[in-house]
Amino acid sequence: MKSVHRRALAAALAAAAALSCASRARSPVAAPAARAEAPFNLVIVTLDTLRADHLGCYGYFRDTTPHLDALSKESLRFTRCYAPIAHTTPSHASLFTSVYPFEHGITANTVLQSEDRQREAAFRPSPTLQTLAQALQAKGVATGGFVSAAPVKRITGLAAGFDGWSEPAEHRRPGHETIADALAWLDATRARPFFLWVHLFDAHGPFDADYPPAEYRTRYQAGEALKQWLAERRFPARISGVNTDETDTTNVVDLYDGAVRYLDDQLAPLLERLGTPEMRASTLLVVTADHGQGLGQHDFLAHGIVWSEQLAVPLLMRLPTRLEGVKQLAAAAAGAIDAPLSTIDVVPTALARLPGLVDDSFFHQLRGVDVLAEAFTPRGVFGMAPLTRGLLAYTTTHWRLIRGKEGAPQLYDLERDPYELEDVAARHPEIAARLDRALLAEVERQKRREAIHAQGAEEGGAPDPKHLEELEKLGYTSGEGAETSPPAPKKDGGAR
């Protein structure tokens, strides 16, 4: 599929939304113009633990995502979107604040080592740092949040700003229960505009004899196509993890793909409701994920480190049909938008299409940018692992640098080596040094901003032992690293 032509896209976007330059000097993205007469709605769906390369619309060879594939035909599809961290709580906090984890202060899921640290773990708004829901609520937008698992429950602070809220009573629930609550809220919410967040957890393990349902557990069986796909990426033949005995890697991928298909089927009723003519006319829909999953690639089964399969996520954005210029935009973006970007760019990009939905002051905190703006220039994208891992990543159009706790940073040529199998830092020392300087400067920038945001932040709540128990049921272990403790990336890319 052909990539979008940048000039044609920019011209179409100029018709789609008029942006003011008044605050450009103060903010990475210009504040939108005044509110349109008929306001638009915003829906963000986050699909937990969904690797971008396991969707049909991202080139996967299996029919894992027919409903998302259909949505992609009506949407802008971003091919190189990276989460800033492969942990659910901090990744969602970054998505909804448009700042990196060091800035909002959540650098791992809330499975922590001491009560003091537990109290500090939840997202805490401050005069300079708010969630999208808080900014929309302040403008009178109806806000509803519906989540499916412990890492995003109310205790994490991610419920801030939501008028309506629903979460599982235990550690997780299937997507159809979450979506039923979301649809009931939509039926009861006559106010316009509205903001809806739906979080689904169906692709996340642990998987067992009861989950996913039997027809999905056995839906896919390894064949030559899967074996070739795994060989190209140098998956090991067998893999094990903290909560998984050694098994054939094909079994791991077959089961994950079944869970992805189950996830896609759970999503169908929500997509059907949002696909009515009334909703299509006035609602901007975003579908993305908080992180991917290792599945054995680079000898790692779970998530929480910084390889591309951990951080690369799908991003689909369907614009309202009533938006001026939307047809021109769709024609210009008939292929895919392939510039590297971060999920912290999602909110600024969406809000730029929805003028007046939030006050201009909200734009001052945003580190993300409007990646559809005419002035957008691709820049390095930051990624990290929880602090105990000591792993950082920096991704550009051509290169990917990974820095560990020890040893020299590793460099991968993504044009020649998209699966990060060969460290070429020794061949390109100047490039490695330049990207390493940029990465470390970005970390320092985030930490300076965190100090500003922390001033006047609300106090965190008391520790909740029940929440820790729920997280452990999902496969997380105590300590900031959570889930598993992998070694630092190997010099050969981790391939066997």
226-256: per-residue pLDDT in tens?
999 999 999 999 988 766 778 899 999 999 9
pLDDT tens digits for range 29-75? 443 333 345 689 999 999 999 999 999 999 999 999 999 999 999 99
Q: What is the pTM for the complete model shown?
A: 0.86
Per-residue model confidence as pLDDT tens digits over 396-454: 999 999 999 888 999 999 999 999 999 999 999 999 999 999 999 999 999 888 888 87
Average model confidence (pLDDT) across the chain: 83
Helical spans, DSSP H, in 42-174 = 66-72, 88-97, 101-104, 115-121, 132-138
d(CA 204, CA 50): 8
Indicate the number of domains in the chain: 1
Q: Are the CB atoms for 359 and 31 separated by under 8 Å?
A: no
**328 domain residue, yes or no:** yes
- In whole angstroms, give the CA distance from residue 493 to residue 290: 24
Q: Three-state DSSP class for 169?
A: coil
Q: Which residue has the tokens 């997202």?
A: 123
CATH of the domain at 335: 3.40.720.10
Q: Is residue 342 part of a domain?
A: yes
Residue 173 inside a domain? The answer is yes
Q: Give residue 150's pLDDT band: very low, low, confident or very high (50, 70, 90).
A: confident
In angstroms, what is the C-alpha Rg of the chain? 21
Chain centre to alpha carbon of residue 257: 19
**Is 490 inside a domain boundary?**
no
The reported pLDDT for the residue numbered 488 is 37
Write out the residue range of the structural domain in which residue 46 sits. Answer: 6-21+40-379+459-473
* 390 lies in some domain: no
Does residue 460 register a pLDDT over 70? no
The pLDDT value given to residue 434: 97
More confident residue, 38 or 300: 300
Inside any domain, residue 407? no
pLDDT tens track for 314-368: 999 999 998 877 776 666 666 678 999 999 999 999 999 998 899 988 999 999 9
- For residue 455, the model assigns a pLDDT of 74
pLDDT digits (tens, 9 = 90+) for 166-209: 999 888 899 999 999 999 999 998 777 999 999 999 999 888 77
Q: Is residue 280 part of a domain?
A: yes
Helix (H) or strand (E) holding 324: none
pLDDT in tens, 66-121: 999 999 999 999 999 999 999 999 999 999 999 999 999 888 876 443 445 544 67
